[in-house]
A = this chain, B = another copy of it.
Amino acid sequence: MDEFALIDRYFRRQTVTREDVALGIGDDAAIVVPRSGEQLVAAVDTLVAGRHFPDWFSAAEIGYRALAVNLSDLAAMGAEPRWALLALTLPEVAAAWLDDFSTGFLDLARKHRVALIGGDTTQGPLTISVTLLGVCERALTRAGAMVGDAIFVTGTLGDAALALALDADDDGESAGRLRAHFSRPEPRVAAGLALHDFAHAAIDVSDGLLGDLGHILRASKVGARIDGRCLPTSAAARALFTPERILTAAATGGDDYELLFTAPAQLEASIRDRLAGCDCPVTRIGTIVAGDAFELSGLDGVPMQPARTGFRHFAT
């Protein structure tokens, strides 16, 4: 089987049909038709085997994740995802693996009405690079945070990092929930779209809360005070780990794919209402302050200094 047959067989099974796709998989390039006046939003993320997912991930989980991390990027822009391109490098053509991988990818694509419009399949060490295109009316960037803004985060933090800290033979219900949070993160697409009307700045928490907050602070030229006692954590985490361990994971662990955003404090009730409408919990965790000050208070309310400030792919 050659690469063309491959693409046909597994990826043409998608059931998303969009009228704005003028030409999909199968020519030199794909053609889509944005509506007049729409801004186009584009993000690319690569997953490398052994680095961005553990060995125990199923092919379906890898496929899901490859799209989910990009959906999370577009969610953080307040954008509506529409079209994806998949660059898939595989060591070999394994039918069962491709079947599972494409199912994980296409199921998530269907849920968010994303059409797979093109791709490239090559032979080599397992690497998956997804480009996701979408549109937005007004983009949420990292640069708009204002002094006095409240800082919010969706969902819970630290679960993905704690899933990796579990014993391999821990098969209890709480362990299962942490692992599911890590392997099937829920990109906050609807929440990102809803935040248009409220947020001044936004980012997704992929590298860890403090590292990603740092991006907002630098881009917006402001500081922040975060109350460690307010960080939202899950019941599953609390059932298995100490409060100190959970705080560290929530502050510095990566891969949670929640949204971190700032907005005027007086909008808190409206934000909570609106996000409840898309089934998305939200927690206020701190305040934007002037200058470049940054303070995280610990479980005792006393300022602390975490050792790690976020995941780095090429840490020296």
**B-binding residues in A (CB < 8 A):** 1-3, 6, 22-23, 26-34, 36-52, 73-74, 76-77, 79, 83, 85-87, 89, 93, 117-125, 127, 129, 131-134, 136, 139, 141-143, 202-204, 219, 312-316
Are B124 and A120 within 8 A (Cβ)? no
Q: Counting chain B CB atoms within 10 Å of each CB, which of A83, A122, A125 scores highest?
A: A122
Contact partner, A121, options B31, B314, B315, Cβ 8 Å: B314
Copies in the complex: 2
CA–CA, A93 and B312, complex, Å = 13
How close is A21's CB to chain B, nearest CB, in angstroms? Answer: 10
Are A124 and B122 within 8 A (Cβ)? no
Are B39 and A32 within 8 A (Cβ)? yes
B-chain residues with CB within 8 Å of residue A42 when the two chains form the complex? 29-32, 83, 85, 117-118, 131, 133
| With A23-B139, A29-B79, A40-B33 as contacts: A46 and B120 at CB distance below 8 Å | yes
Are A44 and B118 within 8 A (Cβ)? yes
Are B120 and A129 within 8 A (Cβ)? yes
In the assembled complex, 22 residue pairs joining A and B whose CB atoms fall closer than 8 Å, in A order, are: A1-B314, A27-B77, A27-B143, A28-B77, A29-B42, A29-B79, A29-B134, A30-B41, A31-B39, A31-B77, A32-B39, A36-B36, A42-B83, A42-B85, A43-B85, A46-B87, A46-B89, A46-B122, A85-B131, A89-B127, A122-B313, A129-B129
B-chain residues with CB within 8 Å of residue A46 when the two chains form the complex? 87, 89, 120, 122, 127, 129
How close is A83's CB to chain B, nearest CB, in angstroms? Answer: 7
Are B316 and A1 within 8 A (Cβ)? yes
Are A314 and B93 within 8 A (Cβ)? yes
How close is A258's CB to chain B, nearest CB, in angstroms? Answer: 13
CA–CA, A93 and B44, complex, Å = 20
Q: Counting chain B CB atoms within 10 Å of each CB, which of A43, A45, A204 scores highest?
A: A43
CA–CA, A118 and B133, complex, Å = 12
Nearest residue in B to A202 (C-beta to C-beta)? B28
How close is A123's CB to chain B, nearest CB, in angstroms? Answer: 5
Nearest residue in B to A29 (C-beta to C-beta)? B43
CA–CA, A204 and B74, complex, Å = 32
Other A-B contacts than A6-B314, A28-B142, 9 sampled, CB-CB below 8 A, are A2-B315, A27-B77, A31-B42, A34-B40, A40-B40, A44-B131, A45-B120, A125-B127, A133-B133
Are B2 and A316 within 8 A (Cβ)? yes
B-chain residues with CB within 8 Å of residue A313 when the two chains form the complex? 2-3, 121-123
B-chain residues with CB within 8 Å of residue A122 when the two chains form the complex? 46-48, 51-52, 313
Contact partner, A22, options B3, B87, B139, Cβ 8 Å: B139
How close is A64's CB to chain B, nearest CB, in angstroms? Answer: 18
CA–CA, A219 and B44, complex, Å = 30
Are B2 and A30 within 8 A (Cβ)? no
Are A74 and B29 within 8 A (Cβ)? yes
